[in-house]
Amino acid sequence: MNKIPTLTTADGLTLPSVGFGTYKLNGAVGVNAITKALSNGYHLLDTAFNYENEGTVGEAIRRSDVPREKIIVSSKLPGRHHKYNEALTTIQESLYRAGLDYYDMYLIHWPNPKENHYVEAWQALITAQKWGLVRSIGVSNFLPEHIDRLVKETGVSPVVNQIELHPYFSEKQLRAYDEKHNIITMAWSPIGRASSMLKDPVIKKIADHKGLSTSRVILRWETQLGVIPIPKSSKSFRQVENLDLFDFKLSDEEMQTITNLDKPDGRLNNQDPAKYEEF
């Protein structure tokens, strides 16, 4: 397998251009899957307070042969703890759960604009970074209006925005906004949670022509867009497949053909961050 390229955040953190999603990987089964992912070459792990598996991630890191300092561990603040003091306590709890001294990246999971405490949450992340609890800070599911407000009220920009992104929802405008503001876009559910997207005839035609699986074509499309996909798999052979993206390329025409699959209602579960709230 070819070496995995890296991207560098605005504040100097080096990120592998593909990460590993851990939602639903819990307990002993989760520890085995995540330890395997580390040995298969994933050095960016995505977790969240709400996944209730930060302990699982921490245990996998301890069991792995990969040194802690070679791994980017990223977690997320839940919507119910956006108030400043609660947010700081939650980040500390997140670290205790994982048994780690620091996170490399910490994100606000959802903006929850009706609750309207996300600026306070951001101030807490800024403090956590000053205290050395987290190396870099970012957001997830934030729209430009939410990020503009963070920057206006605190002067500090997130370095990452993790959003739903796959061929049926390719987020052209939000990607352009992130790029303009030097924010790296990460793609969640990058293969659409193995939905019918993996059988899409347009993607399948490109995949068949190149002798590849549809998941590899989709993940390669994302990396060529400059986005970091974080596919999850409990199976070692799929983990390997999903990382094997760097010995082939999609042509400009193939890229555009996949981008054209975008649909306005292409979200998997209709989770529009302007309205959807998660606690």
Q: Say how far apart CA 136 and CA 148 lie, in whole Å.
A: 18
Using the rule CB under 6 A, which residue among 7, 23, 26, 123 binds ligand LYEC3VGP? 23
Q: Find the shortest distance in angstroms from Cβ 278 to ligand NDP.
A: 7
In 3D space, the residue among 150, 143, 140 whose CA is nearest the CA of residue 228 turns out to be: 140
Query: Considering only residues 153-172, where is the footprint of ligand NDP by CB under 6 A?
Result: 162
Residue 66's Cβ-side half-sphere holds a number of Cα atoms within 13 Å equal to 21
Q: Is 165 in the site for ligand LYEC3VGP (CB under 6 A)?
A: no
Q: Is 23 in the site for ligand NDP (CB under 6 A)?
A: yes
Q: Which stretch binds ligand NDP (CB under 6 A): 10-18, 88-96, 192-200, 246-254?
A: 192-200
User: H or E segment at 106?
Assistant: strand 103-108
168-227: contacts with ligand LYEC3VGP (CB under 6 A): none
Nearest to 202, CA basis, from 241, 252, 255: 255
Instruction: Decide if residue 234 touches ligand LYEC3VGP (CB under 6 A).
Output: no
What are the structure tokens assigned to 247, written together? 């010995």
Output the CA–CA distances (angstroms, integers) from residue 229 to 146, 192, 262, in the order listed.
22, 11, 17
84 binds ligand LYEC3VGP (CB under 6 A): no
Distances (CA, A) of 66 to 37, 98, 162: 11, 16, 25
* Residue 68 CB neighbours (<10 A): 14
Rounded to a whole number of angstroms, the minimum distance from the CB of residue 168 to ligand LYEC3VGP is 16
When the beta carbons of 248 and 279 are compared against ligand LYEC3VGP, the nearer one is 279
Q: Which two tokens stand for residue 46?
A: 């995505």
- Regarding 80 and contact with ligand NDP (CB under 6 A), the answer is no
Taking the complex as a whole, the smallest distance from the CB of residue 53 to ligand LYEC3VGP amounts, in Å, to 11
Using the contact rule CB under 6 A, the part of the chain among 80-88, 120-128, 150-158, 193-201 near ligand NDP is 193-201
* 26 lines the binding site for ligand LYEC3VGP (CB under 6 A): no
Task: State the chain's maximal CA–CA distance in angstroms.
Answer: 55
The smaller minimum CB distance to ligand NDP, of residues 131 and 275, is found at 275
- The verdict on whether residue 109 carries a ligand-binding annotation is yes
Task: Reply yes or no on whether 42 is catalytic.
Answer: no
Q: Which of 42, 51, 106, 168 is catalytic?
A: 51
Q: Does 278 bind ligand LYEC3VGP (CB under 6 A)?
A: yes
User: What binding mask, one character per residue, do residues 42-71 give for ligand LYEC3VGP by CB under 6 A, x or -?
Assistant: ------x-----------------------
Q: Are 76 and 111 in contact (CB under 8 A)?
A: no
Contact 165, 261 (CB under 8 A): no
- The string over 129-147, giving b where at least 16 C-beta atoms fall within 10 Å of a residue's C-beta and e elsewhere, is beeebbbbbbbbbbbeebb
The alpha carbon dihedral of 72, 50, 97, 24 has a sign of: negative
Residues that bind ligand NDP in the complex, under the rule CB under 6 A? 21-23, 46, 109, 140-141, 162, 188-194, 198, 215, 230-235, 238, 241-242
Residues that bind ligand LYEC3VGP in the complex, under the rule CB under 6 A? 23, 48, 269, 271, 278
Q: Which residues are catalytic?
A: 51
